[in-house]
Amino acid sequence: MVSIHDLHFSYKRKKVFSGLSLELSPGYIYGLLGKNGTGKSTLLRGIAGLLFPDKGMIKVSGYTPGKRQPVFLEDVFMVPEEFHLPNMPLDYLLKHHAPFYPKFNKEQFKKYVQEFEIPTDNTLQNMSYGQKKKVLISFGLAANTSLLLLDEPTNGLDIMSKSQFRKVMAGALDEKKCIIISTHQVKDLENLIDRVTIIDEGSILFDQSIEKIANKLSFKISHDNAEIKSAIYNESSLKGSSIVTPNMDGEESKIDLELLYKAIITNGKGIQSVFNA
């Protein structure tokens, strides 16, 4: 689906990527995690054909995104973090934009709009930022493209909307679709993604499936000082110390994505040693 090899990209004198390679397959929801400014949005724009590599290759279903071929554009949809929507009702949005996507399903769009509780009597410019974001997400899902790119999709969503987002996204995936979600709000993707890819300073620090993470690492609260000191990562909480340790007994624990992210950023070598063992 998405193949990236030896990617180099920079903004004038600021280097973003230097030799980045990544493979993403259909049938999965990928979580692209990292701090703001680490290259997540740049990578998504490159995959969408909105930015062009200085060197290296990006292929999506065999197409080069930068060529902007119609057969490619009709099968990819991106929800950017920052956007501008025209001042029109939802009916006009469907009338003028849905025809660009051959697999667009109007009934699906109406269902998502209802689930997200988007006011249909307002024009787009009279909606809040969060409501506009939900319109774009609904449109992207209803477009039924093989590749869906979501850049910070939960920004501007309230707690109930974030919960609804996770529910809708989980039901939208099929074996032919690849969904990539970029975010720095790690908690928002728990129980949703199939694979974790963490980018920092333009490099991939970590790239593993949720299944392998559960097999290799253990996440728990501990009151044992020796266990806490020997943990790959630990932080104090009101209940005790939250720790990440190698999974020695083979019992899977509930993955704490936020804890995992902190462990990789602060002790990447310790985490990698577990996966290389």
> What DSSP string describes the chain?
-EEEEEEEEEETTEEEEEEEEEEE-TTEEEEEE--TTSSHHHHHHHHHTSS--SEEEEEETTB-GGG--HHHHTTEEEE-SS----S--HHHHHHHHGGG-TT--HHHHHHHHHHTT--TTS-GGGS-HHHHHHHHHHHHHHTT-SEEEEESTTTT--HHHHHHHHHHHHHH--TT-EEEEEES-GGGGTTT-SEEEEEETTEEEEEEEHHHHHHHEEEEEE--HHHHHHSSEEEEETTEEEEEEE--S-------HHHHHHHHHHHHHHHHHHHH-
9 lies in some domain: no
Same domain, 101 and 219: no
Question: Chain-wide mean pLDDT for the chain?
Answer: 92
Question: Which residue among 201, 232, 265 closes a domain?
Answer: 201
pLDDT of residue 277: 79
Question: Which residue among 180, 201, 222 closes a domain?
Answer: 201
**Residues shown for the chain:** 277
Question: Which residue among 155, 180, 201 closes a domain?
Answer: 201
Letter for the amino acid at 106?
Answer: K
Q: What is the pLDDT of residues 77-92, one digit of tens each?
A: 999 998 888 889 999 9
Same domain, 163 and 230: no
Share above pLDDT 70 across residues of the chain, in percent, rounded to a whole number:
100
Same domain, 234 and 152: no
Picking from 264, 260, 209, 197, the residue whose alpha carbon sits closest to that of residue 40 is 197
- Residue range(s) defining the domain that contains residue 137: 25-47+66-201
Same domain, 242 and 219: yes
- Whether 208 contacts 274, CB under 8 Å: no
Q: What is the pLDDT of residues 89-144, one digit of tens each?
A: 999 999 999 999 999 999 999 999 999 999 988 899 899 999 999 999 999 999 99
Helix 159-172 to helix 106-115 angle (10° resolution) is 150
For residue 71, give the CATH number of its domain. 3.40.50.300
Query: Where on the phi/psi map is residue 53: left (φ > 0), alpha (ψ -120 to 50), or beta?
Result: beta
pLDDT at 37 exceeding the cut of 90: no
Same domain, 240 and 164: no
Same domain, 235 and 161: no
pLDDT of residue 256: 92
For 202-224, give one letter per residue: b (16+ CB within 10 A) or e.
bebbbbbebeebbeebbbbebee
pLDDT at 172 exceeding the cut of 90: no
Same domain, 146 and 227: no
Same domain, 164 and 108: yes
Same domain, 171 and 242: no
Same domain, 268 and 149: no
Picking from 194, 270, 264, the residue whose alpha carbon sits closest to that of residue 34 is 264
pLDDT at 190 exceeding the cut of 90: no
pTM of the model: 0.92
pLDDT of residue 85: 86
72 band by pLDDT with thresholds 50, 70 and 90: very high
pLDDT of residue 253: 85
What is the total count of domains within the chain? 2
**267-273 average pLDDT score:** 92
Same domain, 38 and 143: yes
pLDDT of residue 196: 93
